[in-house]
A and B are shown apart, each in its own frame.
Chain A
């Protein structure tokens, strides 16, 4: 069947901001869909509120709308563009839910738009658990015994029947949010209540628990002609009970006989048919009882998912791209396999290697949060590794996590358990520390059977883990008599170690050597990495695509070219503070350098990204970003240059090591990078340039810290050096908190000094992104933070252009940026953070690398900042690039952060210098207030047009709150306030209802939030003693989705936004039209 010619334009829905459970895998799928549909000649219209994505680059669609993903605004896009069809399957759950709303509100019908890629009935069956269950039972597919309930009473009745442990799932939520496991009546009530609240339809499913069963996934595709293929099978090491996004997973499935595997395949096919997925990719999840093989289908997603991104990277089969082609009418046999070129996509990839995925968590940023892994996903990113065997891939994945692990090693055990009973108990509870506990258990002489019983891990995985540990110990023994070993014996040992994926760091530690010395020895003995190709077919056909992974075998398929080439280092697994923004920069630089005729070589290990798509760079090395793995590629490729400034802190941390090996680092000189990080040298530079900066000091001990504080005075900002995202950064107001924060900082960056800065209270903060060519520097964008100083720039909303900064200050900012850029000989990107207070402009820090705001600036200015930066690094001058002055910005662009507190009950939600947001959105309009309101809307904060507002602020903020209260009352809002604030406002003549604090008597803040009286909250921190009251109020606000402003500037912006929206409706405009 050829492609459809009755449709001409297609609207693609994106997934919005990065949140837990929905990350940049949907940028990857969206980019693939945009590219392939345009290539097929369709006009592509894109809506996505996330400016950090590559898909929202104006080059990728015909019309790009960075607008809130709400029915109202998408309808406006529809009116403006009148698309023929909507593709909702590449934008995650967000896009699918939005599509459901567009159908239900009649918008699709009204404008005569067709849903493609997913059938309306199919979505309803797959997404509605009761329909799904019914359809499965009808088709003869085994599903777990379960019942829907809508009240706690109903739930208590059902649990009698099902028994403990039971699984609770909330309907229509994503990433498993609102779900949980209950082992007894106490936690059962709590989990059910939470689930009922989280579910937009107040529905939860109580289900027979399959905890401890083995978990599998099949990634499948189906086309219009009913052709069906399994792209990849995935086996979870973590058993049922842990969300698959939080599980360590392996591809292909390792412990299924063909009979069992084919049975699952048959079931998956039946599921597709029963759900009615006509075209596209889906994933089907299975639970298998390890004792008798009983198979149960858990769920299916009728869309591209996180697992399908993983499956695409694991096999070389581009699911999203093919799903998009199927959606416009092609069949699988009509689509060629990109990698072999000569065979069609209607086949099932065979892989001759092993793939391991490990999630990455950020629990350290959320003290007080329950770190147990369960049915609700908590990880923020993931790493994937490819090796010929499972142990090789496991070791590569562990070191690719970029959290300082050398591999599956004794070094994982940092803190020993109290005793073997405690260890056994700890093993039973799934947490991020599981691998370390398994190592400890093995060292503690627990047998694989015992560990398997405690963890639910299949013994097959454990035996391979144990092999690694045993070899590590053998290496240690050999290390003790290294001098006696012949070269042949050393080579033999090294080769065995490398074939198990053991890192140079692990071997060097065992042999008491420096890593580079070990590397030299290893190379001298001829034990060097070779590269094999990911080819979809286990070498049956020739692979034309250089998608490579390292291994230690006889063969090698790298075949480097003799072209002029450049290596770009990616950012590794996503984490808070280092995410999609950096992938955006990496991808842009690939494209920019390819345009200049370079062969581009990408090294990265994040399966969710566009940078690890095999057709982004000319060559892709799917490798961990460690010194060893990167040097191996460089040894082989001999590039002209290596770009380190686009991948965030990860490649920056490798720079010194690479430079020491003579690797040509492009861009800003490594010495300047060091200068910017080194407080002493940096302070010296600022003084010499006559630039103001906060007083500061660098402490290696508590005494030194006290000395510094004596000199500069409280409050101070305490932070570790060489980290990103404000990790362990905090403001200390007294000795007690100083000492606490020093300890935390020292733990995060051991061996490095702790930085102590004077904290400039009540300052405005400003972020500047600039591009340099080594000689000149041009400011690309100046962004003003909306939150006051003290909130991490990643968590603060910001606006471009600034709305409250004088031209005089702007010129100082431009001048300082230029001076600093020249002094640091910046070639490529630079980010400078300023604080303005009392007419003084202070430089807070300089980062000679890409910043999180680069994609935002590009979208606001229409200038391809990252591309210019890449080309400047390759030797072009800014003049040659035609980038000689700061671009003018038309209208206002507001970036707002999205925080994951709804996934972490119990977290302190006050914004702080420690960054905790997972993603961002953008709102733009000709007026600031409208732009801000749009950004709020996009971030999921629904600003009310009328209703009740709760004000509760500290004394210091009371006078400012008066203006807020007055504005709100004028617009007809009823005012509520806690005692102090109420008295203050009443004295000024406002009519206010006083309410008690959360734990006070009478009507409390929590009451007015919970019963819907209040739909806007303004609260500023009330100090430590009010902490509990405040937490209870915040929890209520999050539960009921009531907008909460914790800074006065944000509150004022919100009030202005409400005012603006009452005056004039929000409008939409594509980036293309805006920058025309």
Chain B
């Protein structure tokens, strides 16, 4: 698609956001959300946690540096659509091998540019995340609103089963060559990590692989018994999309596993661990999505700038005895991490693997390694 094809984003509340289409031609639906990261659109688009969401980037210029296979966080684009203020007419970066419009077109992703994204973000901030429909094939506004209203609601939705792998597989690739400062192979002995794939990002696996872990990625639906049969040194619970409370099978499995082996959870994995430990989760009004969130670590009071992508959160007031909040978001006091010392389990709501985002929280992977070392 090129030129000036009119495109339209419709929200379930009836508001319309016109623009110009790019990417694939067609129509798409999803929950409208926004991300305040200044860079990293490709990593965001391919993060399975964005499954069924239409992403608004607040950075006005998107696509400037194109796309490269190295920056994919999974094997496909999971976002349902993309909304930007100004898509780049060219690509300018030595790493790029494709433009963003071509990349999206090739992957069937509908996108819209020239949208007043700031007005849209303020609308979402005021009215909360909601269902939406995006079309760039000359859509009828009323029909598009109706389509948005007919699309499925995130609440109570188990999306992990839609993004997880079907078969277990091994992961061996470590951190990329362009991140020399993060090649922190600690010379430890090799640990076997079984990683639940609720929509895992590659950079999590790379972080573990760089620390000399042998990684078996397993489907979300795998049972506790099956996991133990793999004889893991530690169990990892990945990020992923949707309502954590709906992933009941995983909550049950984790409840059974927790305490048996060291356990580390990220994002959806954090929420599942919390639910398995008996805490509750809730949906945030418009979530945290961006690379600039201040998270304070309870242990040393230091603040880490972190990468976030979550629409749900753990209710810290429901944490049971023996479980405490390890990380807190300084913007809104939201629970960003928990630790259950007696069960050798900990988790964070945000993304220490970054990609995109700052590398301030790399230490959490070291912590997981240390925990496995202590318990093996």
Q: Is the CB of B36 within 8 A of A555?
A: no
Give the complex CA separation of A539 and B70 in angstroms. Answer: 31
| A452-504 CB contacts (< 8 Å) to partner B | 458-460, 463-464, 467
Q: Is the CB of A540 within 8 A of B89?
A: no
Verify if B6 is at the interface (C-beta below 8 Å from A).
no
Q: Is the CB of A352 within 8 A of B117?
A: yes
Verify if B158 is at the interface (C-beta below 8 Å from A).
no
Stretch at the interface among B133-141, B253-261, B292-300: B292-300
Smallest beta-carbon distance B6→chain A, Å = 12
Closest B residue, CB atoms, query A557: B122
Smallest beta-carbon distance A427→chain B, Å = 19
Stretch at the interface among B207-215, B312-320, B354-362: B354-362
Q: Is the CB of A262 within 8 A of B303?
A: no
Q: Is the CB of B64 within 8 A of A255?
A: yes
Number of interface residues of B (CB under 8 A): 57
Give the complex CA separation of A836 and B60 in angstroms. Answer: 61
Q: Is the CB of A388 within 8 A of B90?
A: no
Q: Is the CB of A254 within 8 A of B64?
A: yes
Closest B residue, CB atoms, query A295: B178
Stretch at the interface among A151-159, A223-231, A932-940: A223-231
Q: Is the CB of A257 within 8 A of B39?
A: yes
| A365-409 CB contacts (< 8 Å) to partner B | 388-390
Q: Is the CB of A266 within 8 A of B39?
A: no
Complex interface: chain A residues within 8 A of B88 (CB): 460
Give the complex CA separation of A349 and B292 in angstroms. Answer: 7
Verify if A734 is at the interface (C-beta below 8 Å from B).
no
Complex interface: chain A residues within 8 A of B358 (CB): 262, 265, 348
Complex interface: chain B residues within 8 A of A347 (CB): 292-294, 305, 330-331
Q: Which of B36, B59, B92, B118 contacts A255 (CB 8 A)?
A: B92
| B54-70 CB contacts (< 8 Å) to partner A | 58-61, 64-65, 68, 70
Q: Is the CB of B331 within 8 A of A353?
A: no
As a 0/1 sequence over residues 982 to 1023 of chain A, the CB contacts with chain B under 8 angstroms (1 = contact) are 000000000000000000000000000000000000000000
Complex interface: chain A residues within 8 A of B39 (CB): 253, 256-258, 261
A-B contact count (CB 8 A): 180
Assuming A390-B61, A541-B331, is B118 touching A350 (CB within 8 A)?
A: no
Verify if A333 is at the interface (C-beta below 8 Å from B).
yes
Verify if B45 is at the interface (C-beta below 8 Å from A).
no
Assuming A252-B38, A348-B305, A539-B125, is B330 touching A388 (CB within 8 A)?
A: no
Q: Chain B binding site: helix, strand, loop or mixed by DSSP?
A: loop
| B63-93 CB contacts (< 8 Å) to partner A | 64-65, 68, 70-71, 85-86, 88-90, 92-93
Complex interface: chain B residues within 8 A of A225 (CB): 301-303
Q: Is the CB of B58 within 8 A of A258?
A: no
Number of interface residues of A (CB under 8 A): 64
Verify if B102 is at the interface (C-beta below 8 Å from A).
no
As a 0/1 sequence over residues 585 to 599 of chain A, the CB contacts with chain B under 8 angstroms (1 = contact) are 000000000000000
Q: Which of B34, B121, B357 contacts A258 (CB 8 A)?
A: B357
Q: Which of A257, A354, A389, A540 contacts B121 (CB 8 A)?
A: A540
Q: Is the CB of B43 within 8 A of A258?
A: yes
Complex interface: chain B residues within 8 A of A354 (CB): 60-61
Q: Which of A258, A259, A353 contacts B60 (CB 8 A)?
A: A353
Verify if B290 is at the interface (C-beta below 8 Å from A).
yes
Q: Is the CB of A229 within 8 A of B305?
A: yes
Smallest beta-carbon distance B208→chain A, Å = 19
Q: Is the CB of B118 within 8 A of A388?
A: yes
Give the complex CA separation of A293 and B90 in angstroms. Answer: 18
Q: Is the CB of B330 within 8 A of A343?
A: yes
Verify if B230 is at the interface (C-beta below 8 Å from A).
no
Q: Is the CB of A538 within 8 A of B58?
A: yes
Assuming A263-B179, A347-B292, A350-B290, is B60 touching A388 (CB within 8 A)?
A: yes
Assuming A460-B90, A553-B116, is B71 touching A259 (CB within 8 A)?
A: yes
Verify if B107 is at the interface (C-beta below 8 Å from A).
no
| A245-297 CB contacts (< 8 Å) to partner B | 252-263, 265-267, 270, 290-293
Verify if A554 is at the interface (C-beta below 8 Å from B).
yes
Smallest beta-carbon distance B71→chain A, Å = 7
Verify if B185 is at the interface (C-beta below 8 Å from A).
no
| A940-981 CB contacts (< 8 Å) to partner B | none
Give the complex CA separation of A897 and B176 in angstroms. Answer: 57
Interface centre among A255, A259, A464 (most CB of B within 10 A): A259
Q: Is the CB of B92 within 8 A of A459?
A: yes
Closest B residue, CB atoms, query A452: B92
Give the complex CA separation of A542 and B68 in angstroms. Answer: 36
Complex interface: chain A residues within 8 A of B125 (CB): 539-542
Complex interface: chain A residues within 8 A of B121 (CB): 352, 538-540
Complex interface: chain B residues within 8 A of A257 (CB): 39-40, 42, 65, 68, 71, 93, 95
Give the complex CA separation of A62 and B291 in angstroms. Answer: 42
Complex interface: chain B residues within 8 A of A256 (CB): 39, 65, 93
Complex interface: chain B residues within 8 A of A459 (CB): 90, 92
Complex interface: chain B residues within 8 A of A291 (CB): 94
Closest A residue, CB atoms, query B293: A347
Give the complex CA separation of A554 and B17 in angstroms. Answer: 9
Smallest beta-carbon distance B239→chain A, Å = 17
Verify if A332 is at the interface (C-beta below 8 Å from B).
yes
Complex interface: chain B residues within 8 A of A255 (CB): 64-65, 92-93
Smallest beta-carbon distance A322→chain B, Å = 14
Q: Is the CB of A140 within 8 A of B181?
A: yes
Assuming A225-B302, A344-B294, A388-B85, is B178 touching A352 (CB within 8 A)?
A: no
Verify if A892 is at the interface (C-beta below 8 Å from B).
no
Closest A residue, CB atoms, query B38: A252
Give the complex CA separation of A684 and B42 in angstroms. Answer: 71
As a 0/1 sequence over residues 86 to 111 of chain B, the CB contacts with chain A under 8 angstroms (1 = contact) are 10111011110000000000000000
8 pairs of residues in contact across A and B, judged by CB atoms under 8 Å? A228-B305, A257-B93, A260-B93, A262-B179, A290-B94, A347-B293, A352-B118, A540-B36
Q: Knowing that A258-B71, A351-B38, A539-B58 touch, tell me 4 more A-B residue pairs with CB under 8 angstroms.
A: A352-B60, A352-B117, A538-B121, A555-B118
Chain A residues close to B by CB (< 8 Å): 140, 225-230, 233, 252-263, 265-267, 270, 290-293, 331-333, 342-344, 346-354, 388-390, 448, 458-460, 463-464, 467, 532, 537-542, 553-555, 557
Q: Which 3 residue pairs across A and B have the least CB separation, nearest first?
A: A555-B119, A258-B40, A538-B58
